[in-house]
Structure 1
Amino acid sequence: MLIAEGRKHFLRYGLGGAVAEKIAEDAGYSRGALYSNFDGKEELFLAVIQQEQALHLNFLRSLLNDEPSGKKRLKKMRDAIADLMTDHDWVVLRAEFEAGALRSERIRQSFVEVHRQQLRDGSELIRDLLRSPEVTSSLKPEDFITVIINLAHGLAVTQRILGTELSQKNTRSLIQSLFDHLISSA
């Protein structure tokens, strides 16, 4: 409950603007209950990020496990990554995480850990995709996932800032094209 309420507050107010006492109150807990579960607002924010990462990874894994065809798995993964990278809430949380990492050494260290785990997990998914004779890439899985994560997120942040100038549909299409350029099916 605290993580869900923290997520709402971080999306609305950002890490700097969210107030731990208000999060606890809105979740139906006392301030002490929040601090008995988390060292503070930053640790709660990191729990939100870790939960988001786990949900995304589990979704991608289940999506790929349900499909035996390499071509179809590739398309499903491409579309799921484009959806994720253009999801408003994830774009905002990830950007807030990045900004926090630039301001706080503790958050920076957590960002490094989460980013490394994201690269490991993403590389594993790409490696699994590349086991199919129908799917090829000129990039190593680690390089592929690094490019996709960083370029796709950058596009999504720019789209959120520009609004109508660069539509979400265009951003999604650009991410899909990038994905298709870096990995393809026979």
Structure 2
Amino acid sequence: MSPKVSQEHKEQRRSNLLQAARDVFIEHGYENTTMKHVMEKAGVSRGGLYQYFENKEDLFEALIEAEQVEVIEGSVQAMLKQQGSYWDVLLMSFLGESKKATNEMDALAPSKLEYFITGRNDERKKEHARKRFAQAYQMTVNIIEEGVKAGEFSPRFDPEVMAKAIISHIDGMAMDHAILDSETIQLKEQTELLIGYLKWGLGVVE
């Protein structure tokens, strides 16, 4: 009789597989990555991988979902305690902990672009894209609305419009960055422009 595997152990295995998959997708891109690449990177058998993920699509969706959940599951109030202001919470939501404009972009951005663009006629992928947008949009709206209540923001536009503008700008830069280099699209400078626009558009009280 084989020993029972604890839930904690299963979760750790799954986490290890996702980390290996992330490295592989970054190296090869979505289209060129195979489940065999992930097996070799993670050092597991075919059964060891397929026990957790049915196929490459299932694996990639789980990977990007896990990354988004890390940000979205944290409440705005919890993030406020950590960051100190709603402005910093907003910056952290799309710039990361540094909250600074740089020439660095999400390393998975090219793979995400491949996944969603090639799946534009695939209903499952379209639904996944809609879900991701809705989650990011609602979180951003919540941050802005809480900032307004706290007296930090006096927005010139509706929070809904500001949230969509942020997402569209970030997604657009990610698309350009996947095809071109940082210097060509001036990623840092465009991000600084976005920050300045947001500060003006939100009427940030300093």
Q: TM-score, normalised by structure 2?
A: 0.75
Change (3 A) 1:96 1:113: same
Report SS of the residue matched to 1:18. coil
Q: Which has the larger radius of gyration?
A: 2
Unaligned runs of 5+ in 1: none
CA distance in 1, matches of 2:185, 2:75: 26
Alignment of 1:13-24 (within 5 A): 13-24=28-39
Report SS of the residue matched to 2:154. strand
Change (3 A) 1:156 1:26: closer
* Percent of aligned pairs with the same amino acid: 20
CA distance in 1, matches of 2:124, 2:48: 22
Change (3 A) 1:82 1:40: closer
Residue 73 of structure 1 is aligned with which of 64, 74, 86?
86
Is 1:87 the counterpart of 2:102 in the alignment? no
CA distance in 2, matches of 1:79, 1:109: 27
Report SS of the residue matched to 1:88. coil
Determine which structure has the larger helix proportion and give its number: 1
Change (3 A) 1:103 1:22: farther
CA distance in 2, matches of 1:97, 1:56: 21
Contact 2:153 2:203 (C-alpha < 8 Å) held by counterparts: yes
Q: Corresponding residue for 2:80?
A: 64
Residues 132-174 of structure 1: per-residue CA shift (max 9 Å, x gap): 1231113332222111011122134325514323333212212
Q: Please state how far the C-alpha of 1:35 moved relative to its aligned partner.
A: 1.4
**Aligned positions, number:** 182
Q: TM-score, normalised by structure 1?
A: 0.82
CA distance in 2, matches of 1:181, 1:117: 25
Contact 1:78 1:179 (C-alpha < 8 Å) held by counterparts: no
CA distance in 2, matches of 1:65, 1:140: 25
Give me the CA root mean square deviation: 2.6
CA distance in 1, matches of 2:24, 2:177: 22
Is 1:96 the counterpart of 2:96 in the alignment? no
Q: Corresponding residue for 1:44?
A: 59
Q: Corresponding residue for 2:149?
A: 131
Q: Structure 1 stretch 53-62 or stretch 115-124: which is displaced more?
A: 53-62
Unaligned runs of 5+ in 2: 1-15
CA distance in 1, matches of 2:143, 2:21: 30
Give, as a single letter, the amino acid of the residue that structure 1 aligns with 2:117: A
Q: Structure 1 stretch 133-142 or stretch 157-166: which is displaced more?
A: 157-166
CA distance in 2, matches of 1:60, 1:151: 24
Give, as a single letter, the amino acid of the residue that structure 1 aligns with 2:194: I
CA distance in 1, matches of 2:184, 2:37: 36
